[in-house]
A and B are shown apart, each in its own frame.
Chain A
Amino acid sequence: MIVLQLEYFLLLAAALFCIGIYGLITSRNAVRVLMSIELLLNAVNLNLMAFSNFLDADVKGQVFSVFVITIAAAEAAVGLAIVLAIYRNRDTIDMEQFNLLKW
């Protein structure tokens, strides 16, 4: 008998994803937006690992999550560099002030 069900992990990942979406939309600090993106990536990774453990006899889900971790590290580096560049340009980190491309 498996005491931990697949649905527990899926529900936790869904909750983490929704918290990340909320932070992504409502944050006004640019660095906090990047942190919310990390939350989203972690939620997706948790889904992949749960499916890999419960549905697949192999470790392919773990391979995918290693790739996601790699891409997330690259994304964090480039994203923070972009935030630094925007901060130098506009002298603020308020997301509402980044309206150069607004019509």
Chain B
Amino acid sequence: MTLAEGTQLVSFGVLTLTTIVAALGVVLLENIVYSAFLLGGVFISIAGMYLLLNADFVAAAQILVYVGAVNVLILFAIMLVNKREPLAPLKNAWVRQGLTALVCLGLFALLGTVAITTSWNVLPEAPVVGDTALRLGEHFFSDFLLPFELASVLLLIAMIGAIVLARREFIPDARTGDGDPNLIFRLPERPRDPVAPEPLEPISK
């Protein structure tokens, strides 16, 4: 085993460990803020896996899109719905969790068996792709042109849809004509406990 192969193996082991541990933390931890940050750890580890698989461009895209956008979006959602409520205990909750864990373990056993027993038609040596960004661009603008354009349309649709869904129905500008000046608009998602120690004073002109 040469030094490069040993480095690959050690990196794979470390990345596997961090991925599995962080994913378990995402699912099992009580505090959801910890879960969100561990999700970022999972994304970074997966990006390292992509680097091991000779995909530098997709690794950079993974870091940019997942860690930079999706994870921050999830953190914003956690901040917007920051309601610490005691969840009502379910009856037979352990039955549900045990059954789900059993099904998941069975699914893992099935997938693992399929992955190991199938004789994959692996290429004899790793292909030399060269500049992956160049090859990806060639694919995007030749044989994957239609999905590429459809993805851009879908992103536009998702952006407009997210704005429409998350928009507040209570628009303050519509009421400022002749209302009383002491009116304070309270946001619907404001937390129950006020953050400031004393309540806000009414605005007086």
Which one of A2, A70, A87 contacts B125 once the chains associate, using CB atoms below 8 Å? A2
Q: Chain A residues near B35 (CB, 8 Å)?
A: 32, 35
> What residue in chain A is nearest B100 (Cβ atoms)?
A25
Q: Mark B77-118, 1 if CB is under 8 A from A, else 0.
A: 110110101011010000011001101110110011001100
B110 (CB) vs chain A CBs: closest residue: A14
Q: Assess whether A54 is interfacial by the CB under 8 Å rule.
A: yes
Q: Which of B26-48 contact A (CB under 8 A)?
A: 26-27, 32, 35-36, 39, 42-43, 46
* Residues from chain A with Cβ under 8 Å of B83 in the complex: 87, 91-93
CB-CB < 8 A to B155: which residues of A?
70, 73-74
Q: Which applies to chain B's interface (DSSP): helix, strand, loop or mixed?
A: helix
Q: Are B23 and A92 in contact (CB under 8 A)?
A: no
For chain A, what secondary structure do more than half of its interface residues adopt (helix, strand, loop), or is it mixed? helix
Q: Name the one of A12, A75, A81 contacting B166, with C-beta atoms under 8 angstroms.
A: A81
Contacts of A32 in B (CB 8 A): 26-27, 32, 35
Q: Kindly identify, within residues 68 to 103 of chain A, every residue whose CB is under 8 Å from any CB belonging to chain B.
A: 69-78, 80-85, 87-88, 91-94, 96
- With A9-B49, A31-B78, A39-B23 as given contacts, are A66 and B58 in contact (CB-CB < 8 Å)? yes
Interface residues of A (CB under 8 A from B): 1-4, 6-12, 14-23, 25-32, 34-36, 38-39, 42, 45-46, 49-50, 52-60, 62-63, 65-67, 69-78, 80-85, 87-88, 91-94, 96
